[in-house]
A and B are shown apart, each in its own frame.
Chain A
Amino acid sequence: MGDPVMTALIEVRDATVRYLSTGQAALGPTSLTVEPGDLSLVSGPSGCGKSTLLRLVNGLIPHAYRAQVTGEILVGGRPVAGRSIRDMSGVVGTMLQDPRKQIVGTTVAAEIAFGPENLGLPRDEIRRRIAEVADRVGISHLLDRATAGLSGGELQMVAFAGVLVMRPKVVVVDEPLANLDPAASLRLMREVRRFVDEGGAAVVVEHRVEEILRFEPTQVLYLEEGSTRYQGSVEGFLAMAPAGHVKLPFATLVARADELPAVPVPPRREGTGGTPRLEYQGVTLGYGTRTVLGDIDLVLGPHERVAVLGPNGAGKSTLLRAAVLLIAASRGQVLVDGSPVADRSILSLATTFGYVFQNPGQALFSATVGQELAFGPRNLGMSPAEIAEESRKVLRAMLLDGEKDIMDRPPRTLSFGQQRRLTVAVALAMRPRTLILDEPTAGQDLHTTTEFIGHALAAESVESVYFITHDVDLALTYADRIVVVDEGRVVADTSPAELARAGDVWSRAGLEATGLVRAVRDHLTDIGPIPHPFDLARRLSLLSRSNPSPQEGTTPS
């Protein structure tokens, strides 16, 4: 790796971290060297210490978090001990996970100017830098816009520009792709790659490994429970990575077909037609004077699993919010079980649809999980005994019953993934017939995703699940039907297998054909449901053994 004469930009040697607030070790002895031209990928299950490692190199530990640190950490060739965060920000530029929380400017230009202003640079210099950076990451047209009105993808780019404008030598980014559609992810990673190619370096923490691998990281660090499971080249990583925990490229799955674990796919409920659960008749939806979706005709059945795909800001959330009257149609009519949604009381809607919002914290307010679960059912007039019984049931369904004293824990002290599952439990406690999930798996590792979505789909009493996601493979694997929303319309509405074959959909903005899509297109002939990627990989591997010609579509791209 790199030229030994060059001084490393970041040098972490056998560092350990223990947070003082809990007294628990979060990171075992870990080493990481980053030199100019390096693109390092850090991955691992939720809670394994990835963010902790980043906090170590940008100085947040120990300056902002109280923690005990051992080992040696050099940034820009100098030890971090005794240096301030501000001092190190000249070398390490950091992008934290959620751009919404780190934007400080009211306008894009003010936001990008923030760092240089703090450095006390002259105004002309700042103006020059803003123009240059905005041009470089392609956001010049946004400079005068208010940051509050930007889409997720735009916001992420602006946050990145705000880091680049300070001209750091290394950028470290924590889960940059969690809320981005595939195309926006690609754009962002392309900029990161370019920064590295022009003499910088980058450390990227991400669960979406497959998408990072396209950008040829120079090294991969795989952590598990705070200790290093693997450190080295991409090839070695692909050979060792636990398939159930890391989302690997499909070609790798085929190559390692023999060791793939069995995955139970939740049984599909036999759909007995009946009145549609949700029907849009020429519906137009928008905010204020702005139309987001126009003239939508869509029928979702009572026993279907429907995935909604589409780029950031296409109106996916808006579409499903109309089902529970959080937004009213400006034209047309939305029917629930055959009658106009506007005629239904909010309580009857609440028992028809269990709605889980994009941001899990929105509704958690009680002092304990028990009270949180009881809130909805109590509003429905259930008896305390019923509520207790129901709470136990939903906690079990959402795999939360294993957590110690879960009923007495304050909900917001749970981990992010646990909070997400709790919000689903909260929705299930009201015994809805249809579950609506808005990006349930954003920012979670593959294992959690699999477990979580499996249980949500299998929950008793739930007849149908409609979910919004950016994870194309998740949609293909778990849905009976996929609706793609883009440019204010429904641009596709078919079965997963047909969607994978519909070439024109994948060339649109916001969607990218994954390895799984290509494999389905190239190798699956029947129109039936798409098998789980592991099963498909096993099938293809057998096929290729009996037929050794190179398989198109399974080659890495």
Chain B
Amino acid sequence: MDVTPRYLGAGSFLSRRDPRLLLLVPVLYLVAVAGIDDLRGVLLCAAAAVVYYRAAGIPWRGVRANWAVMLAFTTVLVVVNSILTSVDTRSAGDAEVLFTVPVTHSAVTWTTLSYAATIFLRYTTLAMVGFPVAFNIAPSDLGVAFARLGLSQRLAYGVDLTFRFLPSTWASLQETVDAQRLRGYEHSRSRNPVKRLITLGPVVLPVTVNALIDAEDTVNAMDLRGFGGRHRTWMRELAFDRVDYLVLAGFAVMAAAMVTAKFLGLTETVWVP
């Protein structure tokens, strides 16, 4: 598996945006859709999310596997959370029962289905606005983006540093697995989770301890190159241009509108066609 971040959306509309915008949009989007039980409301937001996702220009082949995992996981979650254990106390009560789920005996009505669709849509569209963070921000821009958003300069650099450590940690993991296999180590196939965990020791422990020992030197090397001063230059210059402001404003308005609607009680009932 490749653990290095992939920069897939090169050249697209969103890749040309300020990375801070890409970090703020998911937050605004979350504010907009959270707590909205009305399918129509979520559909409105979803339209914006789809347009936004299209603008990211992420090639389908690159994220096919990610979407498969995402959709499978979300489907299970939705089925478990909203159909098997129906929580639709919000429904009118005398709704027509379409069928009853065996075993759990929960009744499935149009309300349940509408609600399940709402939740499903909420998750998938959240993923849509989240993907550009992973694939449209050059990994080297993440640290500076956080720093400019007000995070401590040092912690922001920690984000950059995490991406620096990812490939080397992965390489170290592989080498450790190799080294242990040559001493006759094998993954446990046991069904007992405790036993399986214990047999992971020979891999997890050396990888961790090695990383920690090396980190001591990294700390020194950073100190020796003057890290931690009050003022730090970031080579990457970030600037919000007019388009960035427009996109941001668009999502801010949407979030404000949805929150208002929620306060006015317009979106808290499950919509039944």
Contact, chains A and B (beta carbon distance below 8 A): yes
Interface residues of B in 154-186 (CB under 8 A from A): 160-161, 163-164, 167-168, 171-172, 175-176, 178-186
Question: How many positions in chain A have a CB within 8 Å of any CB in the partner chain?
Answer: 66
A435 in the interface, Cβ–Cβ < 8 Å?
A: no
B207 CB → nearest A CB, Å? 9
- Chain A 353-376 against B: per-residue CB contact (8 Å), 1 yes, 0 no? 101010101111100000000011
Q: Is the CB of B226 within 8 A of A86?
A: yes
Q: Is the CB of B176 within 8 A of A363?
A: yes
B232 in the interface, Cβ–Cβ < 8 Å?
A: yes
Give the residue of B167, B175, B218, B225 whose beta carbon is less than 8 angstroms from that of A357: B175
Give the residue of B179, B219, B229 whose beta carbon is less than 8 angstroms from that of A363: B179
Q: Is the CB of B205 within 8 A of A365?
A: yes
B143 CB → nearest A CB, Å? 10
Q: Which partner residue on chain A sits nearest B224 by CB separation?
A: A94
B209 in the interface, Cβ–Cβ < 8 Å?
A: yes
Q: Is the CB of B220 within 8 A of A118?
A: no
A274→B41 CA distance, assembly (Å): 80
B12 in the interface, Cβ–Cβ < 8 Å?
A: no
Q: Which partner residue on chain A sits nearest B174 by CB separation?
A: A326
- Chain A 319-331 against B: per-residue CB contact (8 Å), 1 yes, 0 no? 0010010100000
Q: Is the CB of A64 within 8 A of B139?
A: no
Q: Is the CB of A120 within 8 A of B182?
A: no
Q: Which residues of chain B are near A127, meaning CB under 8 Å? A: 235
Interface residues of B in 112-140 (CB under 8 A from A): 139-140
Q: Which residues of chain B are near A502, meaning CB under 8 Å? A: none
A350 in the interface, Cβ–Cβ < 8 Å?
A: yes
Q: Is the CB of B214 within 8 A of A101?
A: yes
B98 CB → nearest A CB, Å? 51
Q: Is the CB of A361 within 8 A of B233?
A: no
B237 in the interface, Cβ–Cβ < 8 Å?
A: yes
User: Which of A108-116, A132-140, A481-489, A522-530 is the contact stretch?
Assistant: A108-116
A162 in the interface, Cβ–Cβ < 8 Å?
A: yes
Q: Which partner residue on chain B sits nearest A65 by CB separation?
A: B220
- Chain B 211-238 against A: per-residue CB contact (8 Å), 1 yes, 0 no? 0011101111111111111111111010
- Chain A 26-64 against B: per-residue CB contact (8 Å), 1 yes, 0 no? 000000000000000000000000000000001110011
Q: Which partner residue on chain A sits nearest B157 by CB separation?
A: A104
Q: Is the CB of A118 within 8 A of B235?
A: no
Q: Which residues of chain B are near A97, meaning CB under 8 Å? A: 217
- Chain A 367-399 against B: per-residue CB contact (8 Å), 1 yes, 0 no? 000000001100110000000000000000000
Q: Is the CB of A324 within 8 A of B182?
A: yes
Q: Is the CB of A365 within 8 A of B223?
A: no
Give the residue of A101, A106, A113, A346 whose beta carbon is less than 8 angstroms from that of B217: A101
A106→B157 CA distance, assembly (Å): 12
Residues A379 and B183 in contact in the complex (CB < 8 Å), given A101-B218, A365-B201: yes
A238→B184 CA distance, assembly (Å): 48
A490→B202 CA distance, assembly (Å): 36
Q: Is the CB of A148 within 8 A of B140?
A: no
Q: Is the CB of A361 within 8 A of B225?
A: no
Residues A100 and B168 in contact in the complex (CB < 8 Å), given A89-B225, A115-B226, A365-B205: yes
Most central of B186, B218, B227, B235 by chain A CB within 10 Å:
B235
A121 in the interface, Cβ–Cβ < 8 Å?
A: yes
A355→B181 CA distance, assembly (Å): 11
Consensus secondary structure, chain B interface? helix
Interface residues of A in 48-95 (CB under 8 A from B): 58-60, 63-64, 85-86, 89-90, 93-94
Most central of B184, B185, B213, B222 by chain A CB within 10 Å:
B184
Q: Which residues of chain B are near A242, meaning CB under 8 Å? A: none
Residues A104 and B181 in contact in the complex (CB < 8 Å), given A114-B225, A162-B225: no
Give the residue of A102, A117, A353, A364 whose beta carbon is less than 8 angstroms from that of B234: A117
Q: Is the CB of A102 within 8 A of B218?
A: yes
B81 in the interface, Cβ–Cβ < 8 Å?
A: no
B260 in the interface, Cβ–Cβ < 8 Å?
A: no
Q: Is the CB of A117 within 8 A of B233?
A: yes
Q: Is the CB of B206 within 8 A of A96?
A: no
B188 in the interface, Cβ–Cβ < 8 Å?
A: no
A365→B213 CA distance, assembly (Å): 13
A444 CB → nearest B CB, Å? 18
Q: Which partner residue on chain B sits nearest A364 by CB separation?
A: B206
A170→B215 CA distance, assembly (Å): 25
Q: Which residues of chain A are near B66, meaning CB under 8 Å? A: none
Give the residue of B140, B178, B217 whose beta carbon is less than 8 angstroms from that of A107: B140
A359→B206 CA distance, assembly (Å): 12
Q: Is the CB of B221 within 8 A of A118?
A: no
Other than A119-B233, A120-B229, give 4 A-B pairs with Cβ distance below 8 A: A90-B226, A96-B221, A97-B217, A98-B217
Question: Could you give 28 example pairs across A and B, Cβ below 8 Å?
Answer: A60-B220, A64-B219, A93-B224, A94-B221, A94-B224, A96-B221, A96-B224, A101-B215, A104-B218, A104-B221, A105-B160, A106-B140, A117-B233, A118-B226, A118-B229, A119-B226, A120-B229, A148-B171, A162-B225, A166-B225, A346-B182, A347-B184, A350-B181, A359-B210, A361-B213, A362-B175, A362-B206, A379-B184
Q: Spell out A's residues near B (CB within 8 Å).
A: 58-60, 63-64, 85-86, 89-90, 93-94, 96-98, 100-107, 109-110, 113-123, 126-127, 146-148, 162-163, 166, 321, 324, 326, 346-347, 349-350, 353, 355, 357, 359, 361-365, 375-376, 379-380, 412, 426, 430
